[in-house]
Chain A
């Protein structure tokens, strides 16, 4: 391999063939000398050769990816109906693509433009979404495997010099950040799990063990927590805005009623995404 695009291409093909992910796309932010930044599809791999590009590499998918890049977040696997319009969902469903997820990759190393790119394009800080179209909800194991793969691919790409170092940063700084920052946990993608001990609940008097949730919004949100829904979904179902959601989560975390996990099941330090007082 001689370039980062070859890495992306190899990775996407491996994900399709080894893990049977039907469709993989690598989208990246591309900066221009004019100061503009546009979205660019760096590579795409599909399990089904008959799948027309128009089905997946279109403005609607680009809009969703663009929004995630702007919000600097990924999204847990969701039914396509939660992400795309009905016409897009119908087109995807025709090829049995019923779920979608986007991994947000970020660090301050620079992604060089594609080989055949015009000189207007300049190296751009890695700001990418790996878009996966799926037939079924992926297992947590797949999530962990993807996380591991992205982490090490970026490190390997850095060590091979496929990613460029920003002039105002040392390569060691960047390499360290590539490990810690390449997937940023954002609140809306996290999945709250109930953390009250079942053991204690079984053996103790329920009246004595019950802790009151004084706030109505908190109660509404908590009753929807099932260990599968992410914060964005909970907020939508509970009809709460971002501020109310954060406040409710903060209360639940303070009362140790929930803990936050990423979709791979890893526990997340709540202080990374919310200010939680001890």
Chain B
């Protein structure tokens, strides 16, 4: 097990905490019927699933390319968090909730298809998927930063920092995705730890924000 794999596996506890938060969000939703909690529960489940799929791949527990599912889940989770921060009415919130169910079905399909999904034919593919993910997280960063400027809430501040770190982590990993090279491994490890801190902050925001 190399340092890179260890760095990636360090995300595992984040996945566990995301799962706990997802369960908590769904439980709270069942008691309050607050749609934002449903959306959060889904987003946390997606991020947890992304982490676990990544871990499964990195630990070589299965001989498949789990990165498709990882990018899909990671992106859809952040997309939902971002969209829930820009809705303007309860009606839009309801539409987002329904859209999430479709997104969830697609994510499940991608996970289920993992055994037959091909390995990446070119480094451009993971780099592009990573960039798409970065754009989504970047949009969330801008949104929460603007919410912080408007409302100055602790929650939006912590969320802004969380997304900033996550975006930084994703950007740092891009060179390694494009040109896998042992000399850039250090950058990759730093990127992994930045992401761990980013996800941790995300969870701090939802726990104490």
Contact = CB atoms under 8 A, between A and B. Distances in A.
A205 B205 contact: yes
Interface string A200-219: 01111111111111000001
Contacts of B36: 201, 206, 209-210
Contacts of B150: 203
| Interface residues of chain B: helix, strand, loop or mixed (majority) | helix
A65 B33 CA distance: 37
A209 B87 CA distance: 16
B158 to A, nearest CB: 9
B28 to A, nearest CB: 5
A247 B25 CA distance: 27
A205 B151 CA distance: 13
Contacts of B89: 198
Contact of A211 (B32, B90, B93, B209): B32
A205 B86 contact: no
B181 interface: no
A193 B31 CA distance: 19
A219 B33 CA distance: 6
B91 A207 contact: no
Contacts of B86: 202
Contacts, number: 73
Contacts of B155: 203-205, 208
Interface string B187-209: 00000000000000000011101
Interface in B171-190: none
A210 B91 contact: no
A133 interface: no
A226 B93 CA distance: 10
Contacts of A226: 90-91, 94
Contacts of A60: none
A203 B25 contact: no
Given A213-B31, A219-B31, A226-B94, A206 B37 contact: yes
A227 B91 contact: yes
Interface residues of A, number: 22
Contacts of B34: 196, 201, 206, 209-211
Interface residues of B, number: 32
Nearest to B208: A205
Contacts of A211: 32, 34
B60 interface: no
A210 B37 contact: yes
Contact of A210 (B28, B94, B205): B28
A238 to B, nearest CB: 12
A121 interface: no
Nearest to B143: A202
A210 B87 contact: no
A194 interface: yes
Contacts of B156: 203
B85 interface: yes
A32 to B, nearest CB: 50
Contacts of B32: 210-213, 219
A210 B40 CA distance: 12
B209 A198 contact: no
A223 interface: yes
B192 to A, nearest CB: 27
Interface string B33-49: 11011001000000000
Specify which of A202, A211, A213 lies most central, judged by the most chain B CB atoms within 10 Å of its CB.
Answer: A202
Interface of B: 24-25, 28-34, 36-37, 40, 84-91, 93-94, 147, 150-151, 153, 155-156, 205-207, 209
- Which 5 residue pairs of A and B lie closest in terms of their CB atoms, listed nearest first? A203-B151, A210-B32, A205-B209, A194-B90, A206-B36
Given A203-B156, A204-B153, A222-B33, 18 more contacts: A194-B90, A196-B90, A198-B88, A201-B36, A202-B84, A202-B86, A202-B87, A205-B209, A206-B28, A206-B37, A206-B40, A206-B206, A207-B207, A208-B155, A210-B36, A212-B32, A219-B31, A219-B32
27 contacts: A193-B90, A196-B90, A198-B93, A201-B36, A202-B85, A202-B86, A202-B147, A203-B150, A203-B155, A205-B206, A206-B37, A206-B40, A206-B206, A207-B28, A207-B207, A208-B209, A209-B34, A209-B36, A210-B34, A210-B37, A212-B31, A212-B32, A213-B31, A213-B32, A219-B30, A222-B33, A227-B91
